[in-house]
Amino acid sequence: MVRVIKFVLLFIFSFCYSAQAHYYSESFSTWKIENKQVTGNFSVLEVESTRILNIEKFRDLAVQENLTEAMVFREYLEDHVYVVDKNEICQIQKPFELSSQKEGFINILMTFQCSSSTDIKIINNAFFNIIQSHVHIARVYDGKEILIEKALFFNDQTIKINPDQKKLKFNFYETFYNFLKSGINHILNGFDHLIFIVGLLILVSGIRNLLVIITGFTIGHSITLSLATLGIMSPNGTLVESIIGFTIMFIGAEYLIQKTKTYSITNSFLTILILSLLILNIFAKNSIPPILLIGLLFFSLGYFFLHKSITEKSSLLIVITVLFGMIHGLGFGSYLLSTGINSNNIITSLLGFNLGVEIGQIIFVLTALAVIWMLTKLRFNKTIELIKNTAFIFVTTMGFFWFIQRLVI
């Protein structure tokens, strides 16, 4: 048993170390073609650009020339983004340059000069050599009209343009399919969302109860995903991501109550945690809204008071799952908005992305249930209990880690 615990702790530590990076690998670009000149604007989250430092060449470059992460990323792009015309590489007209950017993002301006404009291909290899699950959303404009809108993946990193290309007309199936793939990729590479689902799996027993809980989570995140994407709500991405960590940790606390039937340990833990963050916020002068932490504190205490007072605890769990689903939906919405979706296709993009998230979620849940079913058939009931307890430690630890990391660091 001691060896198992050591292994679990080592695994959690290793996962925490790797989870410091952004959890979904994505980047974006917009392009404009005028005569023989191709200009592009490549955008990526600052935290995403740190992946470049895993490559020895660019890590050494940063040290030797004392370059910032943004400068190193600019050098990296010059090696991995290029334009081809009639199978000839277009010349870089001027060095790639950093442009003004919104907080948390790096924008790089690129200008290429081609010999003609008859058969242009934009090739983007950036990040795909580092992480194969990376997704790049590219748009090519003709004036203010979108000429091409395409999601690039590991096995397709090229945008083809010809002079007879007509302005992009609304294509329901193509737009829907692109965002469907993006939604599946997003959820299956979103470790925090998947770990929340793991928490639900260990918390609920019985297929019927699990279906009810998963449906509640789906309804919750579908509502806020739609509201955020349609501009009815404007979520603060950083705070939403930190609260997602809190929801994961909270599910762990719920499991602890189910197992021990005690509330004092859980309440004490949550109270000490949030009071510590309040003190940290005062002395470290971090930009953590105190009202957020106070709200989480009273929410936690109020929930566990209700939990202790009522007999029908399953109904309370459904309500809390819907509420937490709404928090995760705001996270989905922040991501979808960051892709710069075309306002003309916003409903189609939203439907495709949301369905993709649901498909990815179903794939994950069915896989987990298949593993549990196999263990049950093999009569490894004690193993299942050990897995659930191990998963509890993992879920709670990761929730705690993400809550602190995203809120403070």
What digits encode the pLDDT tens for the residues 227-280? 988 888 887 777 888 899 999 999 988 888 888 877 777 777 777 777 777 776
Mean pLDDT of the chain: 81
What digits encode the pLDDT tens for the residues 63-101? 888 888 888 888 899 889 989 988 888 998 888 888 765
Helix H or strand E encompassing 94:
strand 91-98
Instruction: Please state the rounded mean pLDDT for residues 397-403.
Output: 88
Please state, in angstroms and as integers, the Cα–Cα distance from residue 176 to each residue in 30, 140, 363, following that order: 20, 18, 19
The full 3-state SS of 244-297, as one line of letters, equals HHHHHHHHHHHHHHHHHCCCHHHHHHHHHHHHHHHHHHHHHCCCCCHHHHHHHH
Instruction: Please state the rounded mean pLDDT for residues 28-57.
Output: 85
Which of 100, 123, 97, 122 is closest to 110 using CA atoms? 97
pTM of the model: 0.71
Which pLDDT band, with edges at 50, 70 and 90, does 348 fall under? confident
- Please classify residue 241 by burial: count the beta carbons closer than 10 Å to its beta carbon, then call 0-12 exposed, 13-18 middle and 19+ buried: buried
What are the structure tokens assigned to 210, written together?
């699990």
Helix H or strand E encompassing 337:
helix 313-338
Instruction: Please state the rounded mean pLDDT for residues 109-126.
Output: 87
The answer, yes or no, to whether residue 12 has pLDDT greater than 50, is: no
Note whether 306 and 316 are within 8 A (CB). Answer: yes
Q: Which residues lie closer than 8 Å to 380 by C-beta, 6 or more apart?
A: none
- What pLDDT, on the 0 to 100 scale, is given for residue 4? 42
Please state, in angstroms and as integers, the Cα–Cα distance from residue 99 to each residue in 41, 48, 59, 106, 107, following that order: 9, 17, 22, 8, 5
What are the structure tokens assigned to 285, written together?
């002068």
Instruction: Name the 3-class secondary structure at 42.
Output: strand
Which pLDDT band, with edges at 50, 70 and 90, does 18 fall under? very low
Residue 194 or residue 387, greater confidence: 194
What are the structure tokens assigned to 2, written together?
């001691």
Handedness of CA 129, 131, 132, 137 (dihedral sign): negative
What digits encode the pLDDT tens for the residues 131-183? 887 888 888 887 666 777 787 888 888 888 765 555 545 567 777 888 898 88
- What pLDDT, on the 0 to 100 scale, is given for residue 11? 43
- What pLDDT, on the 0 to 100 scale, is given for residue 287? 61
Which pLDDT band, with edges at 50, 70 and 90, does 27 fall under? confident
Which of 32, 22, 42, 40 is closest to 126 using CA atoms? 42
Q: How many CB atoms lie within 10 A of CB 145?
A: 10
The answer, yes or no, to whether residue 292 has pLDDT greater than 60, is: yes
- What pLDDT, on the 0 to 100 scale, is given for residue 244? 92
Instruction: Please state the rounded mean pLDDT for residues 204-221.
Output: 90
Residue 101 or residue 306, greater confidence: 306
Instruction: Please state the rounded mean pLDDT for residues 45-59.
Output: 82
- What pLDDT, on the 0 to 100 scale, is given for residue 337? 76
What digits encode the pLDDT tens for the residues 351-398? 999 999 999 999 999 998 888 788 777 776 677 788 888 888 899 889
Instruction: Name the 3-class secondary structure at 157.
Output: coil
- What pLDDT, on the 0 to 100 scale, is given for residue 51? 83
